[in-house]
Structure 1
């Protein structure tokens, strides 16, 4: 039997092969309940929620800013066109009007918020679906689309910027749409100019694991949201038949990336958080496409196992988005339940209508390449086996999973927007936020919060120096340069680093690993964190070397998602947060230790956190456990 795999250079190839063995031996997996009918229903709910905001000229109005924003209208056009294809004929006029308006905006150079680069992929996908149904109108659409001159029409081009560092995800997204325009014989040039951009500015950004490092070429800031978004768009281009000179390299990089995303997907169907735009619903919508596309590829190759695994991953991503539906069909676009107008956890560029409809469009692309309901779901990596994985490049993220549970650690010491420490715990069957699911930050970066203190907080070591001052790992180290949210931080600035080591533990459902944090940490010569992860139980030890008065552990606690508030209690040696029918409980194991609950609240993307601190005086070692349950 053929197997769907990557080439021999894939760093996690052995891990992938071990996972195949685990799947082969796995027991029955609980079905996700997601089939094609349910997927198209979710897309329809979103589209119809916004059909009422369509204006006479076809534009989709954003109700929160009372104007058309970004690429809302072409995203609506495409998602609505997919619904028309699936028999919702009443949306044909609406989809066509949105497409007509979108093309007009690009041709006239009047794209809202100067985001023309995002239009072509959405317009061309809609055009291909609608042109057989409206041939006369399609002639007018084609005439408009033929007027596009890429170097003049779009923003992130070398003719406009003359800066290789600025050829980021925008440029790749534009190219994916431009290939579709070329394929439809609506472009005057071939693929050579696209090949140049891909070869010079995009292929070099891929790590050996197939992750796309967005940001300046000389120091990419590597948000995982823009890794998955870029791979999604390039995948659409490849699936559409791109065969230029970069095709084989691009196909291998995106295939590696799909395996990496699979191996690091949480059991709740969410990609790890890192950097700007994390925990926006479109992250998982883009991932749904990546997984659906590779499920279909594995099916076509004759590998039912990987087809079933990728299909389940895609289904769990649909479920992850669906959990955040509002009553009217729209989405809470960031994973909290504050009213959209509050903008809690939003980036400065986040727009509710645009990001809801972009999510619908990405889900629609996933739907179109779905492998079909006949593909039987098989468990994903975080549901079977044990694995501890360190991402390569500048992603500085570790994921560790035992069956049904995953945790995420960030290791950058100098990035105030992505603080170090254990930042997320997901457990199957429990609310995604209980773990909790996000850290606090030293700087809010792009992110806006409606309430709470902007403070660094994660599961991390803390220590008191002889001057009576407390310090925590989450506060990081000085980089020596001013933080710039657009360009990020060079990981080497300030001298911070880690040493990561995984211990073999054959025959047990246990992960054991250590992280040595190296850098100019106040009062310390060295700091080591020991992690032992078992199903239902995490044990952590922090070991300090230096002149300190007390060892400590910071415990972040979910407090409020903007709708429901947790009940937090401190009792003797433990602290507990009960939230939405679940709990997380941390217990300090050292005799004589105390737990202090801080009186402030800390802002996070998910809402509000509280901080508890375990303190053990006259010690250089502290140990605690974390349990999650119902």
Structure 2
């Protein structure tokens, strides 16, 4: 087959080509029922849930804080305008009122919560759709929009910040809307953007096309802000951006789309690392990226790739739809706690804002995806074949998939917000949260929880030192500097290193070994070996150092805010072998020790551990020696 164009060497080129060859051989066609009409119905239900919260000025009022929050109103304006375009004409007046109010907020520098940078892309999207329907109002909108001075109006500009490290996702988000304003003739030009793109945004892209958000000298690289920044820059390209950085930017976004496709879970979720993880807008942004790249691939004659992108977009819609409740609103984070509880919310997470921003991004996806139904959906990489992928830059994640099953190992050893170990297991036959789907934290960082203890709990090695104390790899390596959730961390601080010692993928299996070195208490080196097959993950830990016992931490899904799991400590005949079985949402998962003499212990500090999805309960496997192994058995 011909190699796909990815510019210079694409790190995952071999895995990408192998996947496309598998698609050609299997000629796999997927019927997933995610038609454009179904997507419109989901969007309309979400938007109309907030029409009830619009006041006489056009603002959307958050029912929990009883005030207008962040960029809820322009998000509503765009989403409602797209629905008007699709024939829901009764929303015209409401959409127009929200747009009028939003423009006034920016021009008068009164944007709620000081977030004007997020307004222009949604205001301009709504303006373009409504201006022909309401010509008199459009004249007033045009006059107001023409008054905006970017360096003065917005916050994340060099004029305001005077700091290149602060030219993060906010700046790219603002520019995407400002490009649309220039394209409409409402700004002098868009040439000023070139310096920002060239100096502050292109350097953040890795070889995989992933955008590293955070300070330039030590980006903290959340997957959420990778995907959302690529969404905004993608809107610019879709609208004709052809500046001096266009070719390089297009290559980065192409690579990023391919990488997101290869990393997407079988449940349609992006990896969970970093702040804002598991918020529904993550997958909304991914849906846009996959939709636009499906159409680009189809136009280029890459029909198999186009089908996989189409399927990936549909799975993202499906991932979000699972969390839409009967009244149309969303659980904005993947748990069933009430919005008032704010479990798993970041300090800045707001129910109305993030519900409506999700709606706005999905509306963009429909707006730019009118031709996607001509593309037949095909399996995504997580559904067929086997591969082990190591992210580049500061994303510090190893992704292993085999035939509808995926496991993620984070390799950050000195970041208390992103702990090391297996942090997610998902399989098509399991409920998405069961694996579990997220780990605990050593430091809550931005995240708040309604209940549960903060503890670094993941599938990770543990050991007892000669002083009788237990430690684990998930604790990481303490740095010399206090953790700064805003500024990120220096990956060299505190020492330590991780390397992929070996990895392989064959039909129906993946196999890889990580070597961890660092100043761990009592331990010099740790090898973690993972062999994965459909329905089974075999894990072995080997430690070198002065220890009394070796162990393994086992995170178990306990409570999602609505449903509690049933956790069994199983003793076999004669009580010579112990194991663990978890029953949750009609499915079961087992953890079975395979090292002779292993005991299952339930430490008090692991009784109730907070995670984004609810609560985890932790067990510890313990035995003598320097090695311990176990099997995670999943339904096939």
In the superposition, the TM-score normalised over structure 2's length comes to: 0.97
Gap change, CA 1:465 and 1:3, over 3 Å in 2: closer
Residues 576 and 585 in structure 1, CA contact (< 8 A), matched pair in contact too: yes
Residues 3 and 302 in structure 1, CA contact (< 8 A), matched pair in contact too: no
Gap change, CA 1:3 and 1:368, over 3 Å in 2: farther
**2:613 matched to 1:606?**
yes
Residues 387 and 505 in structure 2, CA contact (< 8 A), matched pair in contact too: no
Mapped partners of 1:367, 1:278: distance in 2: 24
Map 1:462-473 → 2, pairs under 5 A: 462-473=462-473
Per-residue displacement from partner, 1:528-573 (whole Å, max 9, x unpaired)? 0000011110000000111111110000000000000000011132
Map 1:70-219 → 2, pairs under 5 A: 70-188=70-188, 190-219=189-218
Residues 570 and 597 in structure 1, CA contact (< 8 A), matched pair in contact too: no
Per-residue displacement from partner, 1:422-469 (whole Å, max 9, x unpaired)? 000010132110000000001000000110100000000000011100
Mapped partners of 1:502, 1:318: distance in 2: 36
**Aligned position for 2:272:** 273
> Shift of residue 180 of structure 1?
0.2
Per-residue displacement from partner, 1:400-439 (whole Å, max 9, x unpaired)? 0001001111101000000000000010132110000000
Residues 461 and 552 in structure 2, CA contact (< 8 A), matched pair in contact too: yes
Which 5+ residue runs of structure 2 have no aligned equivalent? 572-577
Map 1:169-568 → 2, pairs under 5 A: 169-188=169-188, 190-370=189-369, 371-504=371-504, 506=506, 508-568=507-567
Specify the SS of the correspondent of 2:34. Answer: coil
> Shift of residue 281 of structure 1?
0.2
Residues 73 and 98 in structure 1, CA contact (< 8 A), matched pair in contact too: yes
Which 5+ residue runs of structure 1 have no aligned equivalent? none
**Aligned position for 1:629:** 635
Specify the SS of the correspondent of 1:453. Answer: coil
Map 1:3-14 → 2, pairs under 5 A: 5-14=5-14
Moved more, 90-99 or 566-575: 566-575
Specify the SS of the correspondent of 1:382. Answer: coil
Per-residue displacement from partner, 1:465-515 (whole Å, max 9, x unpaired)? 111000000100111110000011111111121010333354x31111000
Per-residue displacement from partner, 1:596-624 (whole Å, max 9, x unpaired)? 1234200000000000110002x100000
**2:602 matched to 1:594?**
no
> Shift of residue 29 of structure 1?
4.7
Per-residue displacement from partner, 1:230-261 (whole Å, max 9, x unpaired)? 00000011101001111011100011000000
2:587 to 578, 582, 590: 582
Specify the SS of the correspondent of 1:138. Answer: helix
Residues 388 and 502 in structure 1, CA contact (< 8 A), matched pair in contact too: no
Moved more, 313-322 or 16-25: 16-25
Residues 30 and 378 in structure 2, CA contact (< 8 A), matched pair in contact too: no
Per-residue displacement from partner, 1:80-135 (whole Å, max 9, x unpaired)? 00000000000000000000000011111100000000000000001111111111
In the superposition, the TM-score normalised over structure 1's length comes to: 0.98
Moved more, 367-376 or 439-448: 367-376
Specify the SS of the correspondent of 2:374. Answer: coil
Mapped partners of 1:35, 1:272: distance in 2: 25
> Shift of residue 27 of structure 1?
5.7
> Shift of residue 3 of structure 1?
7.5
Specify the SS of the correspondent of 2:353. Answer: helix
Aligned residues: 627
> Shift of residue 372 of structure 1?
2.7
Mapped partners of 2:153, 2:504: distance in 1: 55
> Shift of residue 583 of structure 1?
1.5
Residues 388 and 503 in structure 2, CA contact (< 8 A), matched pair in contact too: no
Mapped partners of 2:493, 2:194: distance in 1: 34
Per-residue displacement from partner, 1:203-255 (whole Å, max 9, x unpaired)? 00001110000000000000110000000000011101001111011100011
**Aligned position for 2:34:** 34
Gap change, CA 1:389 and 1:3, over 3 Å in 2: closer
